Chains A and B, each alone.
Chain A
Amino acid sequence: MTPNLKEQYDYSKWLSEKELTPIEKTYLTVLIWADKRLRIVDYLESMENLYYKINMQMPRSHTEQYNLDNKFWYWYPLYALGTFSVIAYLVAAISGGLLGFYYSPATAGDPSVAYNQITYIMTDLNFGFMLRSIHRWSAQVMVAAVFLHMLRVYFVGAYKEPRELNWIIGIILISLTLMFGYTGYLLPWDQLSFWAGQIGVEMALSIPILGEWVAQLMFGGFSLGQATLQRMYILHVFVLPFAVTTVIAIHIGIVWMQGIAEPH
């Protein structure tokens, strides 16, 4: 390699020769460091290309069709319900992660370990009472926002072509959200939890042919016990978070591709 080229590739010299603010200098240093190892620049460029490719999105706009460019601001709250569900989901995820440090899904003892841990969180743990309250309320608010979101989509006909697939994904999401709520409802293992679980087992058992299998799979048996609580816990903190986060990402990705069905 010629000395000329070597000089050309001497980035530290290039950096020192340029007159840069500290922010610019830090940014370039980090960018060069990462690009040397990860080919960041190429990937950034392909993402930029993706962003500017208009053909990744649908070519029609309802706002344009109905000439409503500046008239839909007062509908904004209704069109923020999807965002609100995501925000409530994030709040529930953070507060739930913190609660997970102190909760343990065990039915041993009287009252059970799970119940004792909730009592501990509510009475002894610093900020624990508020933490459980935040988790509970963000879950309630998320369910409410999801229901209202569905009603909004129904009443403005946003589920129609080309958005049928996203409507079905939405139905899956609302069912998963309700399952989230139900599994979480069972975790304190108090009277309400136990008997709600009892109804769940009976519902599962009443399914023809598959009933016993479903009851085994979801509740770990035909009567409630340690296996039930353990399964509800794993569903609530492991299975559902991954599933719901993935489906939400797909749901929002499709909204990006198809554009928002604006009011008109």
Chain B
Amino acid sequence: MKHNADTKKTNTSDAPIVTDGSGLMQNPVPPDDQTPSWSERKSRSTGLAQLTYEYFERARLEDQDLRSRADYLEREVLGFPFWPHEVVRGFAITSFFIGIILFLSAVAPPHIAAPANPSQTPAVILPDWYLYWSFGLLKLEPLNPALSILDGDKLMLDRTFGVLANLVVVGFLAILPFINTGKARRPVEEPFWAAFGVAGVVLAFTLSLLSVKNLVPLNSHLLFDLTFILPVLFGIVFFSLLKTMREGYMYELNRRYYRLRPPKPLNK
């Protein structure tokens, strides 16, 4: 204690006053004596906490290693200053976008239908446009399999089948990153997945058409078939297109990549 008081006295005489918020100026006992350092906390911990510390240490080491090996951290960053460039640009884009919304509101205001009447079913029942695809998925009853083992009965109601189709679509989208685990980012690098995406978009449109089938001037069976044939067709066309383009693109990409990171010479 006495020793502490002594050092405190010498500190006040010549050491500069600390203003970093650590409280050294008022506190006779420096907080360093009480606050355990990171390694102390790590050594004291046991079980899961210790495992966490150990993992953090490794992860930080890896990060540090990546940073020290990367050349780009030292480069001159190409960018505009926040003020005025980025602020003015952001303000301009935001105003333009809100302007579009106001313009649409002024030009095409929504109207209101007749009041709700439970005893009178309207000829056309529709959700908003962005749910047409989901509404179309409710009309897939020809796809609901009739099983001979159940004497030609269906395993589930058509309505259940439609709801299930919705869940399948959304669920599939959710697990997409775990299905396509490739590193490629450009559509040309992975023609299959790009074509798959195009087919998905076309399917969303054709399902929307199917959902309003009583408004579409087409035979309803033909429309149902087209709903599934068109996406596949578009997928195949895009797949072949991208596959053709791929050669040239990959050549250019590889050339740039290897110019940036030359391959290590083989030692044998």
Contacts and interface: CB of A to CB of B under 8 A. Distances in A.
Q: Do A and B come from one complex?
A: yes
Interface of A: 41-42, 45, 54-55, 59-62, 64-67, 69-70, 80, 83-84, 87-88, 91, 107, 110-112, 115, 118-119, 122, 129-130, 132-134, 136-138, 140-141, 143-144, 147, 151, 154-161, 163-164, 167-168, 171, 175, 178, 181-182, 185, 188-196, 198-199, 202-203, 205-208, 223-224, 261, 264
Nearest to B161: A206
Instruction: Kindly list the 8 A-B residue pairs having the minimum CB-CB distance in the complex, ordered from nearest.
Output: A111-B115, A206-B159, A194-B116, A164-B177, A133-B109, A133-B105, A157-B185, A190-B113
Interface string B34-66: 000000000000000000000000001001001
B97 interface: yes
B72 A84 contact: no
Given A70-B78, A195-B122, A199-B125, A181 B113 contact: no
Q: Secondary structure at chain A's binding surface: helix, strand, loop or mixed?
A: helix
A167 B177 contact: yes
Nearest to A42: B21
Nearest to B117: A191
B112 A181 contact: no
B186 A157 contact: yes
B266 interface: no
B177 A67 contact: no
Contacts of A207: 160, 163
Interface of B: 21, 60, 63, 66-67, 70, 72, 75, 78, 93-94, 97-98, 100-102, 104-106, 108-110, 112-118, 120-122, 125-131, 134-135, 138, 156-157, 159-160, 162-163, 170, 173-174, 176-178, 180-187, 190, 193-194, 197, 201, 253, 256-257, 260
A54 B135 CA distance: 47
A45 B19 CA distance: 12
A157 B184 contact: yes
Contacts of A261: 185
Contacts of B160: 206-208
A130 B103 CA distance: 10
Contact of A88 (B101, B126, B170, B201): B101
Contacts of B184: 157
Given A66-B256, A137-B104, A182-B128, 12 more contacts: A59-B66, A65-B260, A66-B253, A91-B101, A110-B115, A154-B176, A161-B183, A168-B174, A195-B121, A203-B162, A224-B116, A264-B185
Contacts of B70: 59-60, 64
Task: Determine the main DSSP class of B at the interface with A.
Answer: helix
B215 to A, nearest CB: 15
A32 B117 CA distance: 63
A163 B128 contact: no
7 contacts: A66-B253, A66-B256, A69-B78, A134-B105, A154-B176, A164-B177, A191-B116
A56 to B, nearest CB: 11
A158 B176 CA distance: 12
Nearest to A55: B63
Nearest to B122: A191
A178 B177 contact: no
B97 A87 contact: yes
